[in-house]
């Protein structure tokens, strides 16, 4: 049986690393990897393949840049050609990027069964490009692998019970990845980046378009982070290239410790060593919980609502006052992380079994 997997962005490399490893250990299942090229820098792409042992993609489409329409359109055209050549039994897509929707559309128009990993997530904010990508991908998928019960419930509310598609609660492949590569980073004794130093620190990531594309919003967040760095604890930020460009464009100079994006093994070491996570990333919110750190989320809504319900994560938007107040209370509050919100670390295995069973 042949599964063709479409990946293209950093979080997809990490998710696919866990699943691809499980596929390699499965008899009778062949995976053909296609890298769309959406993320292409050494530290946004190549490092994940070498560090996490992801097999070399058979195809690299080298498509990046341009607007959403141009990027998605070019991917759609190129993916259709590859699928026609490969004739896979299943196409598998991850998450909510332009690579996801392009892979989904190309597969379905060719009547190839489609599996969506990380199905059912909703922010209910239709201005997010990711929300559009995930809703449309879910609607045309045949197998919907949900990381949480909330994701299953979202699909039920949208009437998926009445569709021929199959919805499955698998747990989150990011939890599989965190367990797997958290251990590997320990075994290899991966060092923290040198500029982190010995002091207590907060780990920051920031790249969502809703924050970077609004100058006043980004300015207010940056002022709050500078103040945390100067008055509360050091802030360390592996800076996403999109944010770096926007800061340059707006003439904003961060007053905290900025480093280049790091590999996943360095990232898990940063997560293990930090005292707090500040982020607008979907993945980081959960990783903060996996590595038992409080999280303050610089967004107005989240797809990972169970973290909020359990008090592990606080949504603060972009208001400086709210960010500072919430950070102060988060670091003075001890949390009990003894719940299992994202499955048992076997999501990849469940996904593979379901694909095999559906052939």
Segment interacting with ligand UDP (CB under 6 A) among 61-69, 142-150, 262-270, 344-352: 262-270
Neighbouring-strand partners of residue 169: 146
Query: Which residue in the set 6, 14, 19, 351 belongs to the binding site for ligand UDP (CB under 6 A)?
Result: 14
Helix (H), strand (E) at residue 237: strand 234-238
SS (H, E, C) 320-354: HHHHHHHHHHHHCCCCCCCCCCCCCCCHHHHHHHH
Site string for ligand UDP, 98-127 (x = CB under 6 A): ------------------------------
Rounded to the nearest whole angstrom, what is the least distance from the CB of residue 37 to ligand UDP in the complex?
16
Tell me, yes or no, if 116 is annotated catalytic: no
Phi-psi region of 317 (alpha: psi -120 to 50; beta: other; left: phi over 0): left
Q: What single-letter DSSP state applies at residue 96?
A: T
Rounded to the nearest whole angstrom, what is the least distance from the CB of residue 262 to ligand UDP in the complex?
4
Is residue 261 close enough to count as binding ligand UDP by CB under 6 A? yes
Cα separation of 42 and 51, whole Å?
Answer: 12
Number of residues engaging ligand UDP in binding (CB under 6 A): 15
107 or 284: whose CB is closer to ligand UDP?
Answer: 284
Is residue 350 close enough to count as binding ligand UDP by CB under 6 A? no
Of residues 35, 64, 207, 240, which has the active-site annotation? 207
8 A C-beta contact, residue 10 and residue 99: no
**CA nearest 196: which of 260, 278, 264?**
260
Q: Environment class of residue 242 by beta-carbon count within 10 Å: exposed (0-12), middle (13-18) or buried (19+)? A: middle
**CA nearest 348: which of 172, 210, 193, 222?**
172
Q: Which two tokens stand for residue 91?
A: 């196409």
Query: Which residue in the set 75, 91, 180, 267 belongs to the binding site for ligand UDP (CB under 6 A)?
Result: 267
Binders of ligand UDP among 173-212, rule CB under 6 A? Answer: 205, 207
Q: For residue 231, give the 3-state DSSP assignment.
A: helix
Cα separation of 266 and 247, whole Å?
Answer: 24
Tokens 């299942």, located at residue: 29
Site string for ligand UDP, 270-289 (x = CB under 6 A): -----------xxxx--x--
Query: Which residue in the set 8, 147, 238, 345 belongs to the binding site for ligand UDP (CB under 6 A)?
Result: 238
Is residue 133 close enough to count as binding ligand UDP by CB under 6 A? no
Segment interacting with ligand UDP (CB under 6 A) among 7-15, 109-117, 181-189, 213-221: 7-15
Query: Which residue in the set 4, 7, 11, 221 belongs to the binding site for ligand UDP (CB under 6 A)?
Result: 11
Interface positions with ligand UDP (CB under 6 A):
10-11, 14, 205, 207, 238, 261-262, 264, 267, 281-284, 287
Residues involved in catalysis: 207
């Amino acid at each position: 049986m042949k599964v063709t997997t479409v990946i293209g962005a950093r979080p997809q490399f990490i998710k696919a690393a866990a699943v691809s490893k499980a596929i390699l250990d499965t008899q009778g299942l062949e995976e053909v990897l296609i890298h769309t090229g959406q993320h292409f820098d050494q530290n946004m792409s190549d490092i994940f393949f070498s560090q996490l042992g992801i097999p070399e993609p058979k195809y690299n489409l080298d498509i990046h840049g341009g607007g959403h329409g141009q990027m998605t359109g070019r991917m759609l055209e190129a993916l259709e050609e590859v699928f026609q050549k490969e004739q896979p039994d299943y196409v598998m897509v991850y998450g909510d990027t332009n690579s996801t929707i392009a892979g989904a559309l190309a597969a379905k128009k060719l009547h190839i069964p489609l599996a969506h990993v990380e199905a059912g997530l909703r922010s209910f904010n239709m201005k997010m490009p990711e929300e559009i990508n995930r809703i449309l991908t879910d609607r045309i998928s045949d197998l919907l692998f949900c990381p949480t019960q909330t994701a299953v419930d979202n699909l039920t509310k949208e009437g998926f019970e009445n569709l021929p598609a199959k919805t499955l609660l698998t747990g989150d492949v990011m939890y599989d990845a965190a367990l797997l590569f958290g251990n590997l980073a320990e075994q290899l004794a991966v060092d923290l980046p040198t500029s982190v130093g010995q002091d207590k620190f907060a780990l920051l990531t920031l790249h969502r378009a809703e924050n970077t594309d609004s100058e006043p919003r980004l300015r207010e967040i940056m002022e709050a982070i500078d103040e945390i760095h100067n008055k509360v604890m050091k802030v360390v930020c592996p800076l996403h290239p999109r944010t770096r460009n926007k800061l340059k464009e707006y003439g904003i100079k961060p007053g905290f410790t900025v480093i280049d994006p790091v590999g996943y093994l360095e990232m898990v070491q940063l997560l293990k060593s930090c005292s707090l996570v500040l982020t607008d990333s979907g993945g980081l919110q959960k990783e903060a919980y996996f590595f038992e750190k409080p999280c303050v989320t610089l967004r107005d809504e989240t797809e990972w609502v169970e973290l909020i319900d359990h008090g592990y994560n606080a949504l603060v938007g972009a208001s400086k006052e709210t960010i500072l107040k919430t950070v102060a209370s988060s670091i003075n509050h001890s949390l009990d992380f003894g719940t299992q919100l994202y499955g048992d670390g076997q999501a990849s295995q469940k996904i593979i079994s379901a694909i095999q069973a559906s052939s």
